[in-house]
Structure formats: structure tokens, C-alpha cells
């Protein structure tokens, strides 16, 4: 699962598209209130969001892992995403 596309929409909201077809929007206003992400309170800086495939990022130091975002969008737990249930072929 990779982030195929990320776009800044407005007011700390981004749209995200994954390579398996999952899409959605995520609000990150709370994130920019914390720690190193406070620099993203500048909306011009926040709007520079991009994807490196495995995360959404604003720089090498400011990233959010794709699994975290995928979990938020789908409601799936990390274990379900990283280790999907295997099915057996019937004879």
C-alpha cells in the first residue's frame, strides 16, 4: 500500500489516494498544534505537502506514515493492514 497522490485542499485538510483505490480526506489541524509540526501552522508551508509513496511529508523531518493515514481513513487497525487475513484455496 502506497500513497499515490496527496493534495492540499484548505484549512489543514488534505485529500489522499492510495494505490489500492482507497481515497479520502483527512483533517490535520490538531497535528499542527504539537511539537515539530507547529511550523506547519503557516498554511503556505502546510500546502507544500507531498508524498514519497510511504508517507505524506513536508520535509525529511516532517512525515506521517502511510499506514497511520490508511488506518484513519479505513478504520482498520495496524494489524489488519500490515498482516491481512490469509485465505486458503479449496480443493
User: Does residue 45 lie within any of the structural domains?
Assistant: yes
User: Does residue 33 lie within any of the structural domains?
Assistant: yes
55-66 average pLDDT score? 94
pLDDT at 55 over 90: yes
The structure's pTM equals 0.81
pLDDT of residue 47: 97
In tens, the pLDDT along 20-51 reads: 999 999 999 999 999 999 999 999 999 999 99
User: Does residue 85 lie within any of the structural domains?
Assistant: no
Number of domains in the chain: 1
CA dist 58 and 78 (Å) reads 23
- State the chain's mean pLDDT as an integer: 90
pLDDT at 91 over 60: no
Which H/E stretch holds residue 10? strand 3-10
Q: Judge contact between 67 and 78, C-beta under 8 A.
A: yes
User: Does residue 86 lie within any of the structural domains?
Assistant: no
CA dist 91 and 76 (Å) reads 31
What length does the chain have? 91
CATH number for the domain that contains residue 62 = 3.30.2020.10
Amino acid at each position: 500500500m502506497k500513497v499515490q497522490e496527496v493534495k492540499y485542499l484548505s484549512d489543514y485538510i488534505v485529500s489522499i489516494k492510495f494505490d489500492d483505490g482507497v481515497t479520502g480526506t483527512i483533517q490535520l489541524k490538531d497535528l499542527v498544534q504539537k511539537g515539530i509540526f507547529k511550523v506547519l501552522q503557516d498554511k503556505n508551508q502546510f500546502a507544500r505537502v507531498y508524498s514519497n509513496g510511504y508517507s505524506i511529508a513536508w520535509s525529511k523531518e516532517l512525515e506521517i506514515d502511510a499506514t497511520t493515514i490508511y488506518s484513519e481513513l479505513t478504520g482498520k487497525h495496524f494489524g489488519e493492514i500490515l498482516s491481512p487475513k490469509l485465505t486458503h484455496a479449496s480443493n
